Amino acid sequence: MARFRLDRAATPLVLGVMLALLYVFLFAPVAYLVYTSFARDTVWPFPWRPTLAAYENLAHLRAYQEALWNSLGIALGTAVLSMTLSAMGSIAVLKYRHRWRGWFSIIIVSPMFVAELLIGISTLIFNRKVLGLPGNVPSAIIANAVHGMAFGFLIMLAQLVRYDWRLDDAAMVFGANPWRTFWHVTAPNIWPAMLGAFVITFLLAFNNLEISFYNLGAVPTLPSLAWGSLRYGLEAELFALAALVNGVVFLSFVVIYTLIRLGIVRFGYRGL
């Protein structure tokens, strides 16, 4: 009996240690990136002498600035397109009961299980051979939206499954057309799910290399510029760039978590 109580008392401690080791394994590389971005010497082991030289050089490199704006443009366009299509798809699947909705859902989600490299190459070949389009930013946005829509669709689907569609029916009974019903009834209730789909697809497109690389030609993005720089060795500016990107992503999730804790953002329908 005493041994059983000892085992039960030791279980939370063992699980806590395992969880701590897991977090160390996952986030130690990120911490090392941030640590190295402020160091004068990037060769390990090294005595840490803090400096902001890498960030100062990064601010004056026009190639990184151009790549940043291209990445932001692609990410923003992809997020808007993916959020819109995933919202339309999830509403069509959940609100309108039809026998083909299962196959429709599988088609939307299927890009999640296709390698991003194959999506980039197949989109490039289709645009060039069939449509006669060159590689450019709009092509990269459409290709990334195919991939991002799958993630946005699942996010929207998980939240809209609890939505009461009788609210829309009531609005239309009182004379609202479908467009007005969506903007005044549906959208105010499902906007947190749309925000989640927007944020996730934005981050996916911003950090994507394979899909954007094959659809942009010579147009640089931050991932492609970082990948190309590896041929000349790891530079301090790359560590600073990676630290900034990780910091922005972490800050985004902190803001979203804070909004959820404060009750400003509530996922799913909670009733009137």
Residue 269 binned pLDDT confidence (cut-offs 50, 70, 90): very low
What is the distance between the alpha carbons of residues 128 and 135, in angstroms, rounded to a whole number? Answer: 8
Nearest alpha-carbon partner for 137 in 129, 145, 126: 145
- Does residue 122 carry a pLDDT above 90? no
- Does residue 80 carry a pLDDT above 90? yes
Q: Percentage of residues in the chain with pLDDT exceeding 70?
A: 89
Q: Which tens digits make up the pLDDT trace of 14-64?
A: 777 888 888 888 888 888 878 887 877 766 666 767 778 778 877 777 877
Q: Percentage of residues in the chain with pLDDT exceeding 90?
A: 5
Q: Which tens digits make up the pLDDT trace of 129-186?
A: 777 777 778 888 888 898 888 998 988 888 888 887 788 878 887 888 878 888 888 8
Confidence at residue 264, expressed as pLDDT on a 0 to 100 scale: 67
> Average pLDDT for residues 116-131, to the nearest whole number?
81
Confidence at residue 7, expressed as pLDDT on a 0 to 100 scale: 57
Dump the DSSP string for the chain: -HHHHHHHHHHHHHHHHHHHHHHHHHHHHHHHHHHHHTBS--SSS----B--HHHHHHHH-HHHHHHHHHHHHHHHHHHHHHHHHHHHHHHHHHHS--TTHHHHHHHHHGGGGS-HHHHHHHHHHIIIIIS-PPS-HHHHHHHHHHHHHHHHHHHHHHHHTT--THHHHHHHHTT--HHHHIIIIIHHHHHHHHHHHHHHHHHHHHT--HHHHHHHTT---HHHHHHHHGGG---HHHHHHHHHHHHHHHHHHHHHHHHHHTTSS--S----
Full-model pTM: 0.78
- Does residue 81 carry a pLDDT above 90? yes
Tokens of 63: 């190639």
Maximum Cα interatomic distance, the chain, rounded to a whole number of Å? 76
Question: Is 148:208 a contact under the CB 8 Å cutoff?
Answer: no
Domains of the chain from N-terminus onward: 62-261 (1.10.3720.10)
pLDDT top residue among 233 and 145:
145
Q: 50 pairs with which residues across the strands?
A: 39
> Average pLDDT for residues 200-220, to the nearest whole number?
84
Q: How many residues does the chain have?
A: 272
Confidence at residue 272, expressed as pLDDT on a 0 to 100 scale: 42
What is the distance between the alpha carbons of residues 260 and 147, in angstroms, rounded to a whole number? Answer: 27
